[in-house]
Amino acid sequence: MKYSSVGFRPFYYQFVLFPIEALRDVVSNFAHAEDADSVLAFGYIDHETGFRFEILGTADDRNGELQIYNDRPRDERIFIKAETVSDIDGIILENEEDIIYKTDTRLVASIITEYEYSEDVKNSRRMAFLDGSRDLFNVDDVQVHLSRRGYQAEACWVRIEGLEKHFIIGKLLNEPYQDFGYHLGDTISFCTHETEDSHVICVSDMNPSVNITKEDLEDGQMLRDAIKAFNRERNEEHLFNVLELLRDSDVWIPCTAILSEKDQAAMEEMIKEAGDDLSSVEGKTMISQDQIRMVPDILRNGESFFFPVFSGAEEMGEYGNGFSKIETGFLNAIDLARNNEKKVKGIVIDAFSESFVVDAELLDLVEKMKTRIKDAE
Q: For the chain, what are the domain ranges?
A: 3-116, 121-205, 214-368
Nearest to 182 by CA among 355, 365, 12: 365
Percent of the chain with pLDDT over 70: 87
Confidence of residue 65 (pLDDT cuts 50, 70, 90): confident
Q: What is the mean pLDDT of residues 18-35?
A: 89
Q: What is the pLDDT of residue 335?
A: 92
Q: What is the pLDDT of residue 376?
A: 47
Within 13 Å and on the Cβ side, how many CA atoms surround 261? 0
CA distance linking residue 88 with residue 13, whole number of Å: 18
Question: pLDDT at residue 232 above 70?
Answer: yes
Choose the most confident range, by mean pLDDT, from 114-118, 139-143, 146-150, 177-181: 139-143
Question: pLDDT at residue 67 above 90?
Answer: no
**Contact, 43 vs 14, CB < 8 A?**
yes
Confidence of residue 377 (pLDDT cuts 50, 70, 90): very low
What confidence tens digit (pLDDT) does each residue in 287-307 have? 545 455 678 899 999 889 999
Nearest to 249 by CA among 313, 316, 332: 332
What confidence tens digit (pLDDT) does each residue in 94-131 have? 766 666 656 777 778 888 888 988 899 999 999 999 99
Higher pLDDT, 266 or 191: 191
Confidence of residue 14 (pLDDT cuts 50, 70, 90): very high
Nearest to 42 by CA among 103, 87, 117: 103
Percent of the chain with pLDDT over 90: 48
What confidence tens digit (pLDDT) does each residue in 305-341 have? 999 999 999 999 999 888 888 899 999 999 999 988 8
Q: What is the pLDDT of residue 171?
A: 93
Looking at the whole model, is its pTM more than 0.75?
A: no
CA distance linking residue 375 with residue 377, whole number of Å: 5
Q: Strands of 61-186 (E only): list them.
A: 67-69, 79-81, 91-92, 141-147, 154-163, 168-172
Element (H, E) at 121: helix 119-124
Widest CA span in the chain: 98
Within 13 Å and on the Cβ side, how many CA atoms surround 96? 8
Nearest to 310 by CA among 336, 333, 337: 333
Q: Strands of the chain (E only): list them.
A: 15-19, 38-46, 50-60, 67-69, 79-81, 91-92, 141-147, 154-163, 168-172, 187-194, 200-205, 250-258, 293-296, 299-301, 304-309, 324-329, 346-349, 356-359
Confidence of residue 262 (pLDDT cuts 50, 70, 90): low
**Contact, 192 vs 201, CB < 8 A?**
yes
**Contact, 166 vs 235, CB < 8 A?**
yes
Within 13 Å and on the Cβ side, how many CA atoms surround 300? 3
Confidence of residue 286 (pLDDT cuts 50, 70, 90): very low
Q: What is the pLDDT of residue 96?
A: 63
Mean of the per-residue pLDDT values for the chain? Answer: 86
Q: What is the pLDDT of residue 290?
A: 47
